[in-house]
Amino acid sequence: MNDTTITVNEAAAMLGISRRSLYRLIADGLLPRTIRERGRARLLLSDMKAYIERLRKGRR
């Protein structure tokens, strides 16, 4: 897989929420689980963009 990853902090900033709220979205199944890259939790940028698009269309 050759997809860009972003940090948890970057993902939270994209959504304008806290890290804790981001992890809640993950726990609730609204966002995919984080992946580990060099020992750090990261998310796929494409997953974040897809989630934002769903929000814009009114679907979580």
Per-domain residue ranges of the chain: 5-56
> Structure tokens of 14?
């994209």
CA distance 38 to 51: 25
pLDDT at 3: 87
Per-residue pLDDT of the chain (60 residues; tens, 9 = 90+): 568 999 999 999 999 999 999 999 999 999 999 999 999 999 999 999 999 999 999 876
CATH of 5-56, one of 1.10.1660.10, 3.40.640.10, 1.10.340.30, 1.10.10.10: 1.10.1660.10
Secondary element (H or E) of residue 14: helix 8-15
Q: What is the largest CA-CA distance in the chain?
A: 35
